[in-house]
Amino acid sequence: MIIESRSADTALTEVSAVPAQPPRPWNGARITGYVLLVLWGLCGAALIYYLITGFDQDFFTRYAPRLLSGFWVTVQLVTISIVIGGVIAFPVALARISPNRLLSSLAFGYIYLFRGTPLLAQVFLVYYGAGQFRAELESIGLWWFFREAYSCALFTFSLNTSGYQAEILRGAIQSVPRGQWEGAHALGLHNAVTFFKVILPQAFIIALRPLGNEIIFMIKGSAIASIITVFDLMGQTRLAFSRSFEFQVYIWAALIYLFIVEVLRRIWDRLEAVLTKHLKPMS
């Protein structure tokens, strides 16, 4: 009986010794977050109200086909540049991780140039700079390509995204555990077979999400092409505004860009789920 009493007293003492957790105070960051959330909600409601009350059927009928045409130009420009950039990025990434110091240095300089300078400056350099070498380009039969604004934008976008994709791929390859190489060597696999059959598939899965982000950045960055008279989505939007001075055309353009990004995000999520389903634990 005495032992039980002492145990109860000890337990009571231990419970009372634990300090009560004070309620979490409302800090400034949380209050700011709620305020910003309310402001964003009000802005969204105001935007919807503006689109409903200020909707002009004649304006929409006149310029909707132009925006749709610009939409397809944007999709084509981004798709082709991403594919060409991916083709260029693969050998650049291999050169970047090469033990050859010269190849590694050249690849590093290429990546550093296109990742370290603004895309707008690169577009201007190609579009306006090519005209300074018209005679030389005509002599080798390339002036027909560089005289077109669309071709200059496509060329610049491809080089720019190849620098980003090469660095993404380089990081993904080096992120594959070293044990994968060792296991393949233990099975007697050749280095080339190990790289293309074991390392590269895992690297592509690692790089999948960053590559999706790069495509989204290119979609938004493609609006720069409108500055050099490419009639993509933003180019058609600027043309429509210059003729009508109707501000809502920019809102429609923003919604179309948002639609493109959201569709791509859902496709990429589905692709990632399919390619990584073998990594998920079995239930």
Residue 12 has a pLDDT of 46
Burial of residue 262 (CB within 10 Å: 0-12, 13-18, 19+) is exposed
Residue 87 has a pLDDT of 95
Residue 3 has a pLDDT of 42
Average pLDDT, the chain: 83
- Is residue 24's pLDDT more than 80? no
**Per-residue pLDDT tens for 48-83?**
766 666 666 677 788 788 889 999 999 999 999 999
Q: Tokens standing for 22?
A: 């004070």
**Alpha-helical regions (H) of 222-247:** 233-244
Handedness of CA 130, 131, 132, 138 (dihedral sign): positive
Question: Contact 121/201 with Cβ under 8 angstroms?
Answer: no
Q: At 132, is the pLDDT very low, low, confident or very high (cuts 50, 70, 90)?
A: confident
DSSP 55-76: --HHHHHHHHHHHHHHHHHHHH
Helix (H, G, I), strand (E, B) or coil at 22: coil
Question: Contact 185/194 with Cβ under 8 angstroms?
Answer: yes
**Domain definitions of the chain by residue range:** 59-271
Instruction: Pick the most confident of 6-20, 22-36, 203-217.
Output: 203-217
- List the single range of 8-17, 118-127, 146-155 with lowest mean pLDDT: 8-17
- Compute the distance between CA of residue 119 and CA of residue 95 in angstroms, rounded to an integer: 23
| Residue 176 DSSP code | S
Mean pLDDT of 158-183: 90
- Compute the distance between CA of residue 252 and CA of residue 258 in angstroms, rounded to an integer: 10
| Residue 99 DSSP code | S
Residue 229's nearest CA partner among 134, 132, 148 is 148
Which class would CATH give 59-271? mainly alpha
Residue 56 has a pLDDT of 65
Quickly tell me which residue has 């005495």 as its tokens: 2
Burial of residue 200 (CB within 10 Å: 0-12, 13-18, 19+) is middle
Q: At 118, is the pLDDT very low, low, confident or very high (cuts 50, 70, 90)?
A: very high
- Is residue 37's pLDDT more than 90? no
Cα separations in angstroms, 264 against 4, 81, 234, 260, 272 = 67, 16, 19, 6, 12
Cα dihedral 116→118→122→127 (10° resolution): 180
